[in-house]
Structures are given as structure tokens and as C-alpha cells.
Amino acid sequence: MSVTALVGLQWGDEGKGKVVDYLAADMDVVARGAGGANAGHTIVLDDGTKRVLHLLPSGMVRPDPLCLMGAGMVVEPWQMVSEMKEAGLEPSTASRRLLLSPRAQMVLPYHRILEERLEAILNIGTTRRGIGPTYALGALRMGTPVGLLGHREELRAWLQRMHDMVAGFGSGDLPDPLEVLESLDAVSNWLLSTTGNVTGELHRARAAGKRILLEGAQGVMLDLLHGTYPFVTSSSTTATGLAAGVGLGPSDMDRVIGVVKAYTTRVGEGPFPTEEHGPAGEMLAQKGGEFGATTGRPRRCGWLDLVALKWAVRVSGARELVLTKLDVLDGLEEIPLCVAYEVPGLGRVEDMPEDAWLYAKVRPVYEMAKGWSSSAGLSDPHVRDYISLIEEFTGARVIKASWGPRRSQMGEP
Ligand code: GDP
Ligand code: IMO
Ligand code: MG
């Protein structure tokens, strides 16, 4: 029996989709436990076919694994149905491949409208998918779990409540609760057909010795508690958050793997010490194709930040790493690696300051790594040196590294 959790260790978009798809070839179960359609996980098959999943676990792209979506997720019903259709699922058979927890909260038009209001004030640069308000109202016990779809009268009353509550924020014209109810009626059989006991299934699978992969979304630096607050998402993006989101305990996890991009990207606002505003940033964006899979926004780009990575390794409990996008650094003479910060009032520090406002003022201290001409096959000694530097600094072992988007462009260093 084995449970592996896989999480992103930066600000998301590390290549988790690719790595999950790669590992899913040997998995019986792939489960998501946090986030919603703010995620965009891209998988490129060896024939070049590209799939982007926002809600469904990336294990869906493989023919076999059972895919689970846990209570910690927030699910927009219409998006869910469109992804189910794209994956070739039908209500009559969907539950053979996909189980959704009735406890997962639904994202409704009211949440999106509320987010528009909040973004006008906060300017976090969210994905505007209604994620924050859905988690927040869930925490206030004013949420709408998927299971409510099976109780139409109660759902109608909750929608009215939600409408009245959001109206209290002065949010202008709001959709009529009956209209929302009707548009939910049009998709509820799809969602209910795939709703089931996710946590029960997961524990049964674990006891039966099945191989289980927990698929993280976002990245540790976007974690609500341990990320760069307030420029974070509204869920827990660590391995413990992921386990909690599917109903496993911390001791149920056998391995935690962190996915790391060979440089750094960030979408939305918030501090990013190694960001490059000039030609280097432009080069990384161009070569790395750094445009958000969810919103199409250009991603901000910069060098690998080992200080932030060490923090993320600790907070997530990752002992193993998968390094992606080495090919984007091909052809550079030397590559800056951030090994410390200059912090106002404190001087040089090698740990991430916990004070978010102080973090916005740190300056990176770089050491130079030697570049390489091609990372393909990972045979160049300077590629190996780069990997060793990451291992030494973080204390985690790089078990795989990738030099292209396709399934086969990944190997052991
Ligand atoms: P996720 O959110 O962590 O799943 O990452 P995204 O899918 O949002 O973004 C990662 C992007 O990088 C996708 O377009 C992948 O196809 C691509 N990708 C993954 N690994 C590699 C790699 O090693 N090299 C290159 N060039 N692209 C990669
Ligand atoms: P994947 O799973 C990159 C960012 C948003 C914004 C902040 C809050 O593809 O790695 P939210 O809509 O969650 O309230 O936005 O978090 N963000 C992501 N950035 N990849 C993601 O997911 C992200 N999910 C949220 O850009 O800065
Ligand atoms: Mg992404």
C-alpha cells in the first residue's frame, strides 16, 4: 500500500499536471483535495496532443486510474460538466472513473460576483473563479456543498440566503435565485451521477494495497497560512492540506514529492524577490511559454529562489523533488541562483522572513551556476551540478527532472 502526495513548491504552474500524468501510469487512484478551477494543469502527450484540466484530476488522461475529488475542493457545477464531457464521461457510467465528494463546496454566480467586488478593493490578481468567496462562505457555514443538489427545496432556500447575503455587500444586480436553481437543474444529474463516498473509497483502496497519488493544486508559496499573504489563494496547498482535503491523516502519507520549476514564475500580484523585469525575464517568458493555463495572463518570470524553495520544502514535508523546464535554461552561460536575501534592518538572511510586509522588501543575493547547452537526457555535467546545488540547499533529493513538455521528456538525473 502506498500513498504519494505531490505538491507544487513555488507560486503554482510548476508542471504538476505533467508529473501527475507521468506518475499516473503506475497508479490505481489519483485524488485531488484542494482548490478548484483556479488550477490549470497541462498535459502534453508524445504525439503533441495537449489537454488542460482545471477541476478533474490529471489522472483522467490515463485510461485506468480511478479519479477522486475530495471535500476540500471547490467545484463550479457547469465547469465540472464541461470537463466531464471533454473527458468522454456520461452520467450513466461516470462513477466508474470519477467520484466527487458531496461535501465539496459549489462555486455559484454569487461567489464570482462577490469576488469582482473584493478584487476592486484588494487587487490580489485572483483568477476570478470565485474561489476565495466560496471558501470564505464555506467557513462561515453559508456554503452550498454539492450534496445539496439532491435536496431541491433546501437548495432553493440556501440560494435565496446566498442572494440576500451577497446583496448586503451592495453588489448591484444579482441573478435571481430561481434562475440559478434552474440552471443547476440542467446539470445536477451529471454531478449527482458521479457523487460518492470519496474518503471511504480512498481508505478502502489504501487498505487493499492500491497505489494512490494525491494531486496538489497551486503551490506552497500560495498557501493561505504559509504563503505570501495576502497574495495567496484561499486554501491549504501543502501536503497536509491536501491529505485533509481528501480525508487522510498525515501518517497515511508514505511519500511527499514537490514539483519545482528550474526558474520561478508567478501570476497575479504579490512579492517575488527574484523577478526579472528586463530581457532575462522576457527570455524566460518566451522560451517557457509562460502564459496562464486558466486566465491566459502572462506569468511574471525570474530566477530560481532557493530560500523560498527551502521554506516550501519544510512547510510541505517534501523529501523528494521533481525539477521541470530545465530546457528553458538551455544555452545560458551562467544561471543566477538566489541563495540568501538582504533584508532591511537584518542584513543577509538565509531563511524566509515570516512577516509578509517585510518579505516584500527583501533583495535577492545570487550565486552563479554554470550553464549548459542542452539539458536533454540530463547528461551534461553542469545540469547535474545545478541539480546538486538544489539538493544541497534544500536537503531534498531530486528524483526526476524534465526537459520538455512531453511525457517522454523526463528522466532520472
Ligand atoms: P501546473 O499548474 O503545475 O500543472 O503547470 P501548468 O500546466 O499550468 O504549466 C506548466 C507548463 O509547462 C505546461 O504548459 C506544461 O506543458 C509545460 N511543461 C511542463 N514540463 C515542462 C518542461 O520540462 N519543459 C517545458 N518546456 N515545458 C514544460
Ligand atoms: P495551478 O494548480 C498559478 C494565484 C492567482 C492569484 C492567487 C489567488 O495551475 O498551479 P485565486 O483565484 O486562487 O483566489 O487567486 O493565486 N493562483 C495560481 N497561480 N497557478 C495556479 O494553480 C493558481 N491558482 C491560483 O493567480 O495570484
Ligand atoms: Mg497551472
pLDDT digits over 204-236, tens only? 999 999 999 999 999 999 999 999 999 999 999
- H or E element, residue 241: helix 239-246
The ligand placed nearest to the CA atom of residue 218 is 2
pLDDT of 9 strictly over 80: yes
The ligand placed nearest to the CA atom of residue 299 is 2
Beta carbons of 144 and 191 less than 8 angstroms apart = no
Print burial letters for 97-113: b (CB count within 10 Å at least 16), e (below 16).
Answer: bbbbbbbbbbbbbbbbb
Residue 179 CA to ligand 1 centre (angstroms): 39
Structure confidence at residue 245 as a pLDDT band (50, 70, 90): very high
The ligand placed nearest to the CA atom of residue 58 is 1
Residue 64 CA to ligand 3 centre (angstroms): 23
Residue 13 CA to ligand 2 centre (angstroms): 9
Which phi and psi (to 5°) does residue 8 adopt? -80, 145
The ligand placed nearest to the CA atom of residue 20 is 1
Positive/negative CA dihedral, 100, 102, 105, 110: positive
Structure confidence at residue 173 as a pLDDT band (50, 70, 90): confident
Domains of the chain: 2-101+196-255 (3.40.440.10), 105-192 (1.10.300.10), 260-411 (3.90.170.10)
Residue 256 CA to ligand 3 centre (angstroms): 19
Which residues contact ligand 1 via a Cβ below 6 A?
8, 12-18, 40-42, 44, 293, 324-325, 327-328, 402-405
Residue 267 CA to ligand 2 centre (angstroms): 7
Q: How far is CA 387 from CA 183, 206, 304, 346, in A?
A: 51, 33, 12, 30
Q: Which residues are catalytic?
A: 13, 41
Which residues contact ligand 2 via a Cβ below 6 A?
8, 11-13, 38-41, 124-127, 129, 131-132, 217-219, 222, 231, 233-234, 267-268
Q: Who surrounds ion ligand 3 at CB < 5 A?
A: 13, 40, 293
Percentage of the chain exceeding pLDDT 70: 100
- Residue of 300, 324, 375, 403 with the most ligand 1 atoms within 8 Å of its CB, for mutation: 324
- Residue of 105, 267, 291, 316 with the most ligand 2 atoms within 8 Å of its CB, for mutation: 267
Who's near 344: CB < 8 A, 6+ residues apart?
A: 358, 361, 362
- Tell me what the pLDDT averaged over the chain comes to: 96
pLDDT of 171 strictly over 90: no
pLDDT digits (tens, 9 = 90+) for 106-136: 999 999 999 999 999 999 999 999 999 999 9
Indicate which residue's Cα is closest to atom 9 of ligand 1: 13
- H or E element, residue 29: strand 29-32
pLDDT digits (tens, 9 = 90+) for 262-285: 999 999 999 999 999 999 999 999
pLDDT of 99 strictly over 60: yes
At 1 the pLDDT is 57
Of 164-168, 239-243, 263-267, 362-366, least confident by mean pLDDT is 164-168
pLDDT of 159 strictly over 70: yes
pTM over 0.75: yes
Which phi and psi (to 5°) does residue 385 adopt? -65, -40
Atom of ligand 2 nearest to the CA of 265: 3
**What letter does residue 327 receive in the DSSP assignment?**
G
Beta carbons of 155 and 144 less than 8 angstroms apart = yes
Crossing angle of the two packed helices 239-246 and 198-207, in degrees rounded to 10: 110
Percentage of the chain exceeding pLDDT 90: 94
Rounded to whole angstroms, how far apart are CA atoms 277 and 218? 23
At 295 the pLDDT is 80
